[in-house]
Amino acid sequence: MVGRIAEERIDLGSYDEKFYTVVGRGDENVKYFSKLFGVKVVPRGTELIIKGEEEAVYRLVSFIRTLLKRLEKESLTPSEARDYARDFVSSTTLGDKEEYQEEAILYTHRRKAILPRTKTQREYVNSIRNNDIVFGIGPAGTGKTYLAMAMALASLKEQRINKIILTRPAVEAGEKLGFLPGSISEKVDPYLRPLYDALFDMVDYDKAAYMLEKNIIEIAPLAFMRGRTLNDAFIILDEAQNSTKEQMKMFLTRIGFGSKVVITGDITQIDLPKKAHSGLVEAMRVLKGIEGIEFVWFSQDDVVRHPIVAKIIKAYEEFERASEEDEQGPYKD
């Protein structure tokens, strides 16, 4: 049964950067949106005429209005606008009458808005807001650490915490730091580099260096957490799949008053020795159902890196699934 037919018009204003981000080069975005939303879109000057089933028309109008609001805060390429449209379609339903809007978590020093782009990312951000401990589990490129960093910096800016602590297992196979050359900083820095990268992407280098120098932001290997009590802090444990079960228990019992903890990891990429059990995997079993602790699961659909990354993750998942089902192993003749 065909729904009611509707027609809406949206005036995009002047032929500026915002206009070309929406319509794309040679109207490529107009054609893409038309196919994606299942409506007919006719560009006429700076106006878009949208025709089709009422619900589908409403959804595209809602998306374009949301996109225009976002473009007032940050610049996007036409390609990024198409990615945003895909996220919108996958995260809303035809019956959803609420306007799809996102509040930026944080604005970087380059005035780029950081906000969740997928349904799972929004669930993750809301879980961090509403719980003391949140586990973000899933493949690389899904924004687990990046969004946690943004939430931590926003909490610091709003003075809800006094410091940020970023930690991860420094050496995957047991943290045998003494066998590495150089000072302690030189030993652990290569393993903590992804945390530095996320920080410097959001905060001006000089400001970040100041906060690191004053210990407002502390980056340290997981082994250094032992014996401490962490109050009024936002603590991120990254690469948690490479923590041992003893390290995970030690870390979780460091949490003090006024603190919030985000633990991220990918249980398909455990680098511990075969005899060692992952602390993240054990925590998933032990802590399930405890009030104030939330688990959020990401998939390849949440990957926000190059589109081919999601395809790579999916290919590996399918290969590993087929290998498990094949009694003779993945290298059958």
pLDDT tens-digit profile of 107-117?
Answer: 787 767 788 87
**Which band of pLDDT confidence, cut at 50, 70 and 90, is reported for residue 181?**
low
* Residue 21 neighbours by CB under 8 Å, 6+ apart: 29, 67, 71, 75, 76, 77, 78, 81
Residue 319: burial class (beta carbons within 10 Å; 0-12, 13-18, 19+): exposed
Residue 286: burial class (beta carbons within 10 Å; 0-12, 13-18, 19+): middle
How is 195-220 classified by DSSP, letter by letter?
HHHHHHHHS-HHHHHHHHHTTSEEEE
CA distance 274 to 61: 53
Query: According to the per-residue pLDDT averaged within each range, which of 7-16, 154-163, 172-181, 298-307 is highest?
Result: 154-163
The pairing of strands 233-237 and 163-168 is: parallel
How far lies 43's CA from each of 24, 48, 79, 258, in Å?
A: 11, 5, 19, 53
What's the farthest any 2 CA atoms get from each other in the chain? 71
pLDDT greater at residue 31 or residue 274: 31
pTM beyond 0.75, yes or no: no
**pLDDT of res. 76:** 87
CA distance 224 to 169: 10
**pLDDT of res. 124:** 95
For residue 314, give the H/E element and its range. Answer: helix 307-325
Is 291's pLDDT higher than 70? yes
Structure tokens at 84: 């945003």
**Which band of pLDDT confidence, cut at 50, 70 and 90, is reported for residue 53?**
confident
Is 136's pLDDT higher than 60? yes
**pLDDT of res. 320:** 76
Mean pLDDT computed over 22-46: 90
Is 131's pLDDT higher than 80? yes
Q: Which of 12-16, 138-142, 323-327 has the lowest mean pLDDT?
A: 323-327
Is 293's pLDDT higher than 90? yes
Is 197's pLDDT higher than 80? yes
Is 98's pLDDT higher than 50? no
Is 39's pLDDT higher than 50? yes
CA dihedral (169, 170, 175, 179) in degrees, to 10, reads: 170
CA distance 253 to 230: 9
pLDDT greater at residue 233 or residue 74: 233
How far lies 221's CA from each of 7, 142, 248, 300, 305, in Å?
A: 58, 23, 13, 28, 26
DSSP state of 232: S
User: pLDDT tens digit string along 300-322?
Assistant: 777 766 667 667 877 887 887 78
Is 145's pLDDT higher than 70? yes
φ, ψ (nearest 5 deg) of residue 106 = -160, 150
Average pLDDT, the chain: 83
